[in-house]
Structure 1
Amino acid sequence: ISIHCGAGVLRLQSLKFLLEKMSQLEKDIVPQWMEMQRNASLLEHPDATFEIVGKQWFEGLMAGAKQALHRAINVVSSQTAYCVIYRDMQSEFLDNIYYTGVHRSCDNITSDVLPFLDGVLGYVASRLDSQSRNVVAAALLEATVSGWMRVLLDGGPARVFTSGDIEPLEEEVEILSDFFIAGGQGLDAAMVAERVAPMTALLSIMSLSTNDLTKNYEEQATKEAAAAMTGAHAPSKPSSDPNADVFNSEVTLRVICHRADHAASKWIKARFSIGKTESSGGWFAF
């Protein structure tokens, strides 16, 4: 286990300890506050059960402190997860998977990523309670999807994809989802579906033909340019849509640039006035 994961778990243990102590402190102080009010003769009868003066203020103070601790737990979990994906797994994940194509490569999510994540989650589960473990697991899933999408959209010249790659990629999405659901022992299925939704949306874009992709790009670019001129937002998707970030001209163009297709290469050269270059002679020379 890396230093990033170990340090993150240690911080989470500290935050969880503070949260538990704060809850206990709240339980101890409220009765003492009530007793102090009685002793000060601020209540007409020692057995009175109506609201104690100042109790709401203290409860609000404690609630705010606990909310701050919960936010800190979420932030630390997210930082730890992204360090695991973008630092600890940079070679295995960002540099290696699909390096020679989805079908040709023996490096993929199932073989390279999940075994490492399994070790991380095992380490986390043995040191944190189930609630904190699930927060870390959700952050790891989000970071994994982020890194995976980066591979598909910003993978460099060695990574190109075809429409035939969609089926095995969809299978890996299912495997990843099942891994985090863990037969009902892990994350909630609805939460997992929400976290992998951007990846699913991206695959739906990648499944389009080159002709449809180029048409979509022109339409999206035109709408976005018009929206920029008027200062409005492009009307591509509602802001409440969790997949809205992938339905734009930039993502569509990246998909076209990573398309192993002569028509895509020809369109890019014509659209952006790129001169002819010699064939690289690599796996996907087109």
Structure 2
Amino acid sequence: MRDGELNSLCRGLDKAFQVYTQLVTAPIVDNEDLVPPVPVLTRYKKELGIKAFVKKEVVQEVRTVDERKASEITQLTMPKLCVRLNSLYYGISQLSKLEDSINERWVRKKTENINIRRSTSEKSRTVIPNQKNQFDGSRKEINSAIDRLCEFTGTKVIFWDLQQPFIDNLYKNSVAQARLDTIMEVLDLVLNQLCDVIVEQLRDRVVTGLLQASLDGLFRVILDGGSTRVFSPNDVPLLEEDVETLKEFFISGGDGLPRGTVENLVSRVRPVINLIKQETRVLIDDLREVTQGSKSKFGTDSKTLLRVLCHRNDSEASHYVKKQFKIPSSAPST
């Protein structure tokens, strides 16, 4: 076999691995198909004892998932997703062995040919090409696919499989009545199922995806939870306790994710809880400064401040967002 023929063979194998990877990830849909539409932003309505929010002009369209696609998503169970991840990991773990085998055999064959030529001509000199790194395209494709599958798995669990208990019902009507601990048991079952199937080398990557999706779910509930979510500074101790519960769940006494990894990811939620802790007047003053071009004293943006105020269960916040941002109430006045 000539050098060019071997290179063509390696390119063909590299392409075959990439095509296989694309087939493995073909059923994976975009996040827009998994995440339910964001409720319209409204403000707290004192008469009903509830609140809500989002200016109509900033409502984002979310694609409606048809029945066929919904069925396909539902069929992508945790074990099936883990099997896909395992197959990709096995493939990428074998690429180096395949490269080494090809290179070793090629070098041995070329060396034999060189020795034969040297026996007839001592002046003959041949450079043996290195066949390493022939499958870098496949490595890149597979690693990208693994990352995408890990993200998809976490998002599907939180926003699709657990939509009702997590996205729809967490903190519904009041924080005290619908705490995070009501979800932890089912989340524990999901995590056990995941760890039973996934290869050890991918466990942390998949679980990290689940943690990230859980935090995204918390953001969704707190900032875009709709008219049934209302928060006050008095809720902060309970919210902080729930964040600690989630953090320790994923650390799992040292058997789960590294504490530093979890702490780093969970830190994204704390600034939002700190905003809920502030008095309404402080938030209003900060939002006014930000909308006038100044920086927030809390290091946040106007959209986040507005959403916290819309979910604030007091008349001062409701009156301000109505007057300044024309945010409608959660229901028309009677």
TM-score band by shorter chain is: 0.7 to 0.9
Per-residue deviation, residues 55-95 of structure 1 (Å, max 9, x unmatched): 2xx43333442232122111011111101111111111111
Hey, what's the Cα distance between the residues in 2 that align with 1:101 and 1:136?
32
Per-residue deviation, residues 218-257 of structure 1 (Å, max 9, x unmatched): 2222228xxxxxxxxxx769xxxxx97xx21001100000
Shift of 1:280: 7.9
Please name the residue that 2:281 is paired with.
Answer: 211
Alignment counterpart, residue 129 of structure 2, candidates 49, 54, 58? 54
Identical aligned residues as a percent? 31
Alignment counterpart, residue 3 of structure 1, candidates 75, 79, 101? 75
Alignment counterpart, residue 108 of structure 1, candidates 179, 183, 206? 179
User: Which runs of 5 or more residues in structure 1 are unaligned?
Assistant: 46-51, 225-234, 238-242, 282-286
**Contact 2:289–2:296 (8 Å) recurs in 1:** no
2:75 partner letter = I
TM-score of the aligned structures, taking structure 2 as reference length: 0.68
**Contact 1:86–1:147 (8 Å) recurs in 2:** yes
1:203 partner letter = I
Show the 5 A alignment for 1:132-211: 132-211=202-281
- How many pairs are equivalent? 252
**Contact 1:37–1:43 (8 Å) recurs in 2:** no
**Contact 2:86–2:199 (8 Å) recurs in 1:** no
Please name the residue that 1:68 is paired with.
Answer: 141
**Contact 2:227–2:330 (8 Å) recurs in 1:** no
What is the CA RMSD across the aligned residues, in angstroms?
Answer: 2.9
Alignment counterpart, residue 98 of structure 1, candidates 159, 162, 171? 171
User: Which runs of 5 or more residues in structure 2 are unaligned?
Assistant: 1-73, 119-126
Hey, what's the Cα distance between the residues in 2 that align with 1:81 and 1:111?
19
Out of 78-87 and 250-259, give the one that drifted further.
78-87
Compared CA separation, residues 72 and 249, structure 1 to 2 (3 A): same
Compared CA separation, residues 275 and 130, structure 1 to 2 (3 A): closer
Higher relative contact order (CA 8 A, sep 6+): 2
Shift of 1:43: 11
Shift of 1:206: 1.6
Hey, what's the Cα distance between the residues in 1 that align with 2:322 and 2:171?
25
Give structure 1 regions of 4+ aligned residues with deviation exceeding 4 angstroms.
42-45, 273-281
Per-residue deviation, residues 103-162 of structure 1 (Å, max 9, x unmatched): 2x1x322222x2222112211211122221111100000001001110011111111000
TM-score of the aligned structures, taking structure 1 as reference length: 0.79
Hey, what's the Cα distance between the residues in 2 that align with 1:84 and 1:159?
22
Hey, what's the Cα distance between the residues in 1 that align with 2:269 and 2:150?
21
Hey, what's the Cα distance between the residues in 2 that align with 1:248 and 1:17?
44
Hey, what's the Cα distance between the residues in 2 that align with 1:80 and 1:108?
24
Please name the residue that 1:268 is paired with.
Answer: 321
Show the 5 A alignment for 1:202-241: 202-223=272-293
Hey, what's the Cα distance between the residues in 1 that align with 2:330 and 2:258?
50
1:29 partner letter = I
